[in-house]
Amino acid sequence: MANLIETATRAGHFKTLLSAIEATGVRNLLESEGSLTVFAPTDEAFAKLPDGTLDELLHDLPKLKRIVMYHILSGDARSDDLAQIEEAPTEEGSILAIDHSNGSTKVNDATVTQMDILTDNGVIHVIDGVLMPAILAGHS
């Protein structure tokens, strides 16, 4: 198997996320031995952000890093683990809300579209939106 970065790169639809990971220096964390869970927004999810938001974030790396870290959980949280919790602490320091209703799983306002992409050092869950820490949500 490959690590989180290699797996996301191979998938081909996380180019924007991978650019943000590179720009903010989070790559080392995602290549480390530890076990992590990544809620990975697709390129389409990033495209849904208001015009100019991504460019603004690429020029504000501390803010972008907080957003990237908000998509990462410590530990290997697979679908069966997620099904048992209603919130999860992120590497950024804030809490994500996990909602299970109508046969789907939501993380904050984003829907998980694919679960349990296993890697050597964790698991990726694909989401259809970019998660914003509450502290930054109103400030974009």
Chain segment 43-88, per-residue pLDDT in tens: 999 999 999 999 999 999 999 999 999 999 999 999 999 999 999 9
Q: Which domain holds residue 123?
A: 4-130
Please count the structural domains in the chain: 1
Q: Is residue 126 part of a domain?
A: yes
**What stretch of H or E contains 15?**
helix 15-24
Chain segment 81-112, per-residue pLDDT in tens: 999 999 999 999 999 999 998 889 999 999 99
Q: Is residue 46 part of a domain?
A: yes
Q: Is residue 136 part of a domain?
A: no
DSSP codes, 45-78 = HHHTSPTTHHHHHHT-HHHHHHHHHTTEEES---
Q: What's 123's domain CATH number?
A: 2.30.180.10
